[in-house]
């Protein structure tokens, strides 16, 4: 029977009783109680340490396999067929191709549930608590129109005028419809928090402060980046229609969402469109130790015949920060070489990458990284240097900033009719030739940049937009905070 505290009342304010307490605390009985508790806690901690060591050992073995596979694409394909996805699922990634190439395609968020090993009740995240796996609910579907109305309602709740909210919502939902959920409803909370904190003025209208027949500089007045970007693209199209080529820059702006939204808009009007933007610093330039440039996206679109188009939208880092955040939330690993820890050592842990704010340039952290670095510098010149916006490390990180972002954008529009006749037919022909290339995998087709996203958006039009668990969580949070109605949804029949 374990010794216990005497049943008599013990009060630290009761004179004699205080002496009884002190006597008991010095007794062998009390020391035995403490010793037993400490031993029990120590045994439990040692057991947990042993479990963690075993997981680390397995992860280390897996990383060695990955390093070997990265030396040869043919080795990766061979190994993938031999081992299928068993090892990949075991360590929290979907396939070995996911490790090598990032694995983030247009259907990334619809496939996230495949990232977990359903046979395990938990997955270990390096540097964080153990997360319990929960089987996802039956998928919910909504329409782009219903989700657009939801975004409009949310923006109006924080004071955004209806027409501005509509323009903003169209860009956000277009991202989700294309499968680019890093720039869709998931981001809505950040935009709304910026408005609540007066870090962004939702009803501010952009103003032209310098202009020629073919160029312009626009002050965004710290308004919504999507509204500013659309104003600039429309202005650039108007100027290109007259002179053939135009260039418009913007300063005083905020995050403008998916760059392809604006270039696709130009292509639908028969123009070649290009869009650039600087962002808060995450890229560690080739040969350096500190982050300096942002993910600095580049987008270009060119129209073909029958609504066909080429539409490239890439970050100049090996992976966008949005995909790193998604990997963290869903307990996925990053591809080796895409991110670094605080000491600039490669890491596959998104938690470490977000803390260090260090991403590798396009091409990776190796000798090819100078290409991504150079492209990021080019974007900086075209977006901030020519607009008067903040640049490089002078930009605050989105989640840490205390004042206006003052981001810079750039938009180039070219009227192909001012150059050669039959441009759209020529574009369709080169895309046809490209698609007819023999694929390495006979089960896959060759697609031009932007085609997977276009296919996804057409599927959404037909079947509706599947809401991921993360999107649904975001929607529920906004419903509770803003007292708005959620979008109508249904289960797939």
Q: Are 183 and 322 in contact (CB under 8 A)?
A: yes
**What torsion, rounded to 10 degrees, do the Cα atoms 300, 237, 256, 394 define?**
90
Residue 148: the pLDDT is 97
Site of tokens 């959620």: 486
Helix axes 225-243, 162-177, angle to 10 degrees: 90
Q: How far apart are CA 245 and CA 241, in angstroms?
A: 8
Residue 2: the pLDDT is 47
Strands (E), 346-406: 346-347
Q: Are 334 and 327 in contact (CB under 8 A)?
A: yes
* Phi, psi of 334, rounded to the nearest 5 degrees: -90, 160
Q: What's the distance, Cα to Cα, between the start and end of the chain in Å?
A: 63
**Could you tell me the CA-to-CA distances from 326 to 102, 201, 226 in Å, in that order?**
12, 27, 22
What pLDDT tens digit does each residue of the chain (493 aa) get?
Answer: 444 444 444 444 444 567 777 777 777 777 777 777 777 777 777 777 777 777 776 666 666 555 555 554 444 444 444 544 444 443 333 333 443 344 444 444 444 444 433 333 333 333 333 333 344 567 889 999 999 999 999 999 999 999 999 999 999 999 999 999 999 999 999 999 999 999 999 999 999 999 999 999 999 999 999 999 999 999 999 999 999 999 999 999 999 999 999 999 999 999 999 999 999 999 999 999 999 999 999 999 999 999 999 999 999 999 999 999 989 988 899 999 999 999 999 999 999 999 999 999 999 877 888 999 999 999 999 999 999 999 999 999 998 899 999 999 999 999 999 999 999 999 999 999 999 999 999 999 999 999 999 999 999 999 999 998 889 999 999 999 999 999 999 887 6
Q: How far apart are CA 118 and CA 59, in angstroms?
A: 18
User: DSSP assignment, residue 48?
Assistant: H
Residue 69: the pLDDT is 52
Site of tokens 């607009």: 387
Decide: helix, strand or coil at residue 364.
coil
**Could you tell me the CA-to-CA distances from 250 to 129, 269, 359, 412 in Å, in that order?**
43, 22, 26, 12
Residue closest to 275 by CA, chosen among 286, 264, 283: 264
Annotation: CATH topology of 206-318+359-436: Ribosomal Protein S8; Chain: A, domain 1 (3.30.1370)
Q: How far apart are CA 154 and CA 165, in angstroms?
A: 9
Q: Work out the number of other CB atoms within 10 angstroms of the CB of residue 437.
A: 9
**Which tokens sit at 26?**
């010095």
Q: Return the ∠ at Cα 261 (arms to 256 and 267), rounded to 5°.
A: 140
Residue 27: the pLDDT is 76
Indicate the helix (H) or strand (E) that contains 313: strand 309-314
Residue 14: the pLDDT is 44
Residue 136: the pLDDT is 53
Name the CA radius of gyration of the chain, rounded: 27
Residues with Cβ within 8 Å of residue 215, at least 6 apart in sequence: 239, 246, 247, 248
Would you kindly state where each structural domain of the chain is located, as residue ranges? Answer: 206-318+359-436
């Amino acid at each position: 029977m374990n010794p216990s505290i005497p049943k008599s009342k013990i009060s630290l304010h009761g004179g004699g009783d205080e002496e009884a307490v002190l006597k008991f605390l010095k007794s062998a009985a009390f020391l035995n109680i403490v010793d037993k508790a400490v031993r029990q806690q120590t045994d439990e901690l040692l057991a947990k340490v042993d479990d963690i060591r075993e997981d680390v050992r397995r992860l280390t073995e897996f990383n060695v396999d990955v390093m070997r596979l990265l030396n040869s694409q043919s080795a990766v394909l061979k190994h993938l067929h031999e081992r299928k996805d068993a090892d990949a699922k075991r360590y929290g990634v979907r396939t070995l191709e996911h490790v090598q190439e990032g694995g983030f395609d247009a259907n990334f968020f619809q496939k996230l549930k495949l990232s977990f090993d359903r046979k395990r009740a938990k997955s270990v995240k390096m540097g964080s608590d153990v997360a319990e796996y929960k089987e996802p609910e039956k998928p919910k579907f909504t329409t782009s129109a219903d989700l657009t109305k939801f975004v409009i309602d949310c923006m109006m709740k924080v004071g955004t005028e209806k027409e501005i909210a509509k323009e903003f919502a169209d860009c956000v939902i277009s991202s989700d419809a294309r499968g680019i959920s890093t720039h869709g409803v998931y981001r809505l909370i950040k935009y709304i928090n910026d408005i609540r904190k007066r870090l962004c003025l939702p009803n501010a209208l952009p103003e032209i402060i310098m202009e020629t027949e073919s160029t312009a500089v626009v002050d965004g007045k710290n308004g919504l980046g999507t509204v500013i970007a659309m104003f600039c693209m429309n202005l650039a199209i108007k100027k290109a229609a007259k002179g053939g080529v135009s260039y418009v820059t913007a300063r005083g702006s905020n995050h403008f969402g998916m760059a392809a939204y604006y270039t696709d808009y130009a292509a639908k009007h028969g123009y070649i469109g290009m869009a650039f933007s600087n962002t808060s610093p995450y890229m560690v330039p080739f040969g350096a130790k500190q982050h300096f440039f942002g993910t600095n996206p580049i987008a270009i679109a060119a129209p073909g015949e029958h609504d066909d188009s080429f539409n490239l939208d890439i970050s100049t880092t090996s992976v966008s920060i949005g995909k790193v955040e998604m990997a963290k939330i869903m307990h996925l690993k990053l591809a080796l070489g895409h991110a670094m820890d605080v000491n600039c050592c490669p890491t596959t842990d998104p938690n470490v990458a977000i803390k260090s704010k260090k991403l590798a340039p396009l091409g990776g952290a190796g000798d090819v990284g100078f290409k991504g670095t150079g492209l990021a510098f080019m974007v900086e010149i075209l977006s901030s240097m020519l607009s008067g916006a903040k640049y490089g490390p002078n930009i605050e990180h989105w989640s840490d900033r205390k004042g206006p972002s003052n981001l810079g954008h750039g938009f180039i529009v070219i009227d192909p009719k001012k150059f050669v006749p039959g441009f759209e037919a020529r574009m369709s022909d080169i895309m046809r030739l490209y698609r007819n290339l023999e694929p390495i995998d006979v089960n896959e087709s060759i697609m031009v940049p932007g085609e997977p996203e276009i296919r996804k958006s057409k599927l959404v039009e037909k079947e509706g937009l599947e809401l991921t668990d993360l999107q649904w969580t975001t929607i529920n949070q906004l419903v509770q905070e803003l007292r708005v109605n959620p979008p109508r949804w249904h289960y797939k029949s």
